[in-house]
Structure 1
Amino acid sequence: MIRVGITGKSGFIGYHLCHTINQFKEEFSLVEFEKNFFNEQLKLDAFVSSCDVIIHLAALNRHNEPEVIYETNVSLVNKLVKALERTESKAHLIISSSTQEERENLYGKSKKEGRKLLSDWARQNNGRLSGLIIPNVFGPFGQPYYNSVVATFCHQIANGETPKIDVDGDLKLIYVGELVEKIIQIIRDNDNTHELFIPHTAEAKVSEILVKLNYFQNTYQETGEIPALNNDFEFRLFNTYRCYMDIASYFPKKFVQHLDARGGFVEIARQGIPGQTSFSTTLPEVTRGNHYHTRKIERFAVIKGKALIQLRRIGTEDVHEFYLDGDYPAYVDMPIWYTHNIKNIGDDTLYTIFWINEPFDPNNPDTYFEIV
């Protein structure tokens, strides 16, 4: 069992890294870390002593005074180095730096100096360091106006605001899930590359990203249509956008029901991508689901009976509850990283139609059990 400690675990990358590592409970165990450990020497030393791997993500990205960014980030690394020396740690160190290292800004300089400090420690103490130089990262739950322009635009568009392009630059991007996969592989490989450039997996101008996000808003948020997604980048960008919508007020969405002498007809989902549509019957008081996905797009549509659908974002305690009745057909979509279930709360059999963008593959299921 590899004991992994993560500083900055409540941040954007830290959130995804922690919850992904938790999917490999037989391989990794997470060592508890709180940000106040940096101000309490005994707690920091105990944390360092408990780790086989330390992933240093804690850093300040933005501040009105750039000097504060520089001083904070360098200070955090210095405190970590001193704890490593006091405890004579042999942990594998992984630090997240940025392609801004070579830019003339104090954030980039702080990241470069922090990586160098840990590199010096590794060389002097026969330690291991993976110094990751990372391009722009995007994905679900990035903080608007802080983590990335993608996070800011998603937040603004999903909430009816109009984004503004200051500089229409060309962005080199990596999806947070891809970055997390690389970090986990670096742990497994016992990497010792002090300057390790993480390649970007997508490239787009700011204006191109804005066009795509507006398209998602118009097709998905306004009409409920699953948009055409032409490549992996668009697929990941769409999954990112969905996580910035206010699901509590957006769902459940009423279907348009067409009635005639034969009965009723309801279109479930128009789509521009391949998918799988299915239906289930659920006996009274039975619950299905209690799992989450990290990439799949899924829709639950109740067509007969009464149901309670529950969603909870992984790592949080707030549960969203939606009551659906087949007499008033409606649907709820499952955002990625939200564990979800559906329960028959009526007296008769519940009929539910499910749509998902990819058929179930037992060799790559992307389905993780967790009670809502």
Structure 2
Amino acid sequence: MIKVGITGQEGFMGQHLFNFLGTKTETVQRVAYDRSVFDDQELLKQWVSQCDVIVHIAAMNRHEDQQVIYDTNVRLVNKLISACEEAAVTPKIIFSSSTQEECDNLYGKSKRDGRKDLEDWAAKNKATVASLVIPNVFGPFGVPFYNSFIATFCHQLNHGQQPSIHQDAEVSLIYINELLEAFYLNIINEREGAYLDRVAPTSKHKVSEILEKLEKFKETYVDKGAVPDINDSFSLNLFNTFTSFIPKDYFPRKFTKHTDDRGAFVEIMRAATAGQSSYSTTVPGITRGNHYHTRKVERFAVISGKASIKLRKVNTDKVYEYILDGDTPAYVDMPIWYTHNITNIGDTELITLFWINEPYDPADPDTYFETVD
């Protein structure tokens, strides 16, 4: 069991890595971290002493004064080195660097100089430092106007704003889940010494192409309730990023119910992508689910009975609840990294239709159990 600590765990990449390692409990034990340890050298010494591997992500990306960025990032690296030296420990350190290393700015210089300081420490102490040079990263829960232009565009489109393009450049990108695999491989490998790993981008797109796809997602999914074409991996990853910015009061969405003397008709789903449909019956008082997915797009549609659908983002406390009644058919889509369940809160049998964008594969189920409440 490898004991792994993550600096910057509260940030975009750190939060995702922490959650990802929570799906690898057969090989990894996560060491609790709080950013306050960098304010107390004794606490920092205690923390580094608990870790077999430290993934150093904590850094400042933006500030009006570039020198503050440089000073902050180099200081964090040197405090980490000092704590290891004072505690006489040599955990493997995985350093999150950036392709900005090659650019003429103080953020890139802070990454380059921080990497060199870690490499010097590794050489002096016969330790291992893996420096990952990372391209532009995007994914769910990014901070708009900070982490990436994709996070900014997604936020704006879901809050009634129109994004603007300042420079229509081609951007090399990697999706956060793909980056997490690179982190994990470096956590578990047995390579020693100081080495550099240039993480390759998985796609390249012009900014205008990405904005066009996001605008199509809004028109198709948000405005019309249909799932767009997400058959290729980039489209699926971009879609899951986009939907993470949809306000939680967007759901539940009511279906249009057509009735006449024969009965009723409700259209459940329109999708420009492949998927699997199924249904369940649930007796009163019973709960199904209590699991989350990291990539799947899933829809719950209640067509008969009364249900409570609850969602909670992994490693947070806030629970969202939606009450659905078959008398007014409606649906709720399950966002990735949200554990969810459905409970029959009525007096009659509950009938729920499910749609998911990929058939269930027992060898790769992408289903992780965690109770909502």
TM-score, normalised via structure 2 length? 0.98
Matches of 1:65 and 1:10, distance apart in 2: 23
State the partner residue of 1:236: 237
Q: Identity of aligned pairs, percent?
A: 54
- CA offset at residue 39 of structure 1? 1.8
State the partner residue of 2:92: 92
Which residue identity is paired with 2:27? E
CA contact (8 A) 1:132 1:198 kept: yes
CA contact (8 A) 2:284 2:347 kept: yes
Matches of 2:293 and 2:159, distance apart in 1: 24
Give per-residue Cα distances to partners, 1:78-129, cap 9 Å, x unaligned: 1111111112222111000000001111000001111111011111111101
State the partner residue of 1:133: 133
State the partner residue of 1:55: 55
Where 1:195 maps in the other structure, the secondary structure is strand
Which residue identity is paired with 1:222? D
Matches of 2:298 and 2:232, distance apart in 1: 18
Which residue identity is paired with 1:164? S
State the partner residue of 1:341: 341
Which residue identity is paired with 1:258? H
Matches of 2:184 and 2:102, distance apart in 1: 26
Matches of 1:151 and 1:240, distance apart in 2: 8
Matches of 1:317 and 1:190, distance apart in 2: 36
Q: Does 1:308 align with 2:311?
A: no
State the partner residue of 2:210: 209
- CA offset at residue 33 of structure 1? 1.6
1:160-175, aligned counterparts within 5 Å? 160-175=160-175
Say what the alpha-carbon RMSD is for the aligned residues: 0.9
Matches of 1:294 and 1:60, distance apart in 2: 27
Which residue identity is paired with 1:88? A
State the partner residue of 2:332: 332
Which residue identity is paired with 2:218? Q
State the partner residue of 1:221: 222
State the partner residue of 1:245: 246
Which residue identity is paired with 2:224? T
Which residue identity is paired with 2:272? G
Where 2:155 maps in the other structure, the secondary structure is helix
State the partner residue of 2:195: 194
State the partner residue of 2:25: 25
Matches of 1:180 and 1:93, distance apart in 2: 16
- CA offset at residue 189 of structure 1? 1.0
Give per-residue Cα distances to partners, 1:29-74, cap 9 Å, x unaligned: 1112211211211100011111100000000000011110000000
CA contact (8 A) 1:129 1:191 kept: no
Where 1:123 maps in the other structure, the secondary structure is helix
**Matched residue pairs, number?**
371
Gaps of 5+ in 2: none
State the partner residue of 1:36: 36
TM-score, normalised via structure 1 length? 0.98
Q: Which region of structure 1 is more displaced relative to structure 2, 189-198 or 82-91?
A: 189-198
CA contact (8 A) 2:231 2:274 kept: no
